[in-house]
Homo-oligomer: A and B are copies of this chain.
Amino acid sequence: MGRNRSFIEAEVVAQCAEIFRSTGYEGTSIDDLVQATGLHRGSLYKAFGSKRGLFVLALRQSAGPAMPTHDSTDLLLVALMELAPRDPEIRSIAFGILSGVAPRHTPQSLGERLLERAREPRANEATTKDSA
C-alpha cells in the first residue's frame, strides 16, 4: 500500500516535471498538469498543496543520485531562470543540486543545454481550442 502509493506519487511528480521542464513554470497551468497526469484538480491539491509545492517536489526528485539527463537539466534551468531570483527556497535547492558531490554541472554545460533546448521546437500548445 504505502510503497505502491509513493511509487504512483513519484510517477505523477515525474509527469509534472516533464511538463514544467518543457513549458516552463509560469507557462504551465494547473489544467496542463491535470491533463498530463490524468488526475483531477482536487486530487492534485490534496496531494501536493500547490503548484509551487509540486514544482519543488519535481525539482528535488529529478535531481536524484543519477547523472543529469537533458530533462533534469531543463528543469534545473527553469528553476534558475524563473523561480530562483524571487524564491529563496528554490534558489537554495537549485544551488544545492549544482554543488553536488561530483561536478555534474558546469556553467558551460548549462549554457550548452540552454541553447539546445531553445532550438527544440515545442509542439504548439493549444492556446485556442481546436481539439476535435
- A residues engaging B (CB < 8 A)? 22-24, 26-27, 49-50, 52-53, 77-78, 80-82, 84-88, 91, 94-95, 98, 106-112, 114-115, 117-122, 124-125, 129-130, 132
Which label, helix, strand, loop or mixed, suits the secondary structure of the A interface?
A: helix
How distant is the Cα of A94 from the Cα of B106 in the complex, in angstroms?
23
User: Oligomeric state, in number of copies?
Assistant: 2
Residues of the B chain whose Cβ atoms lie less than 8 Å from the Cβ of A53? 132
A82 touches B130 (CB 8 A): no
Chain B residue with Cβ nearest A88? B121
Chain B residue with Cβ nearest A78? B81
Shortest CB–CB separation between residue A15 and chain B, in angstroms? 19
A125 touches B86 (CB 8 A): yes
How distant is the Cα of A52 from the Cα of B131 in the complex, in angstroms?
11
How distant is the Cα of A29 from the Cα of B95 in the complex, in angstroms?
28
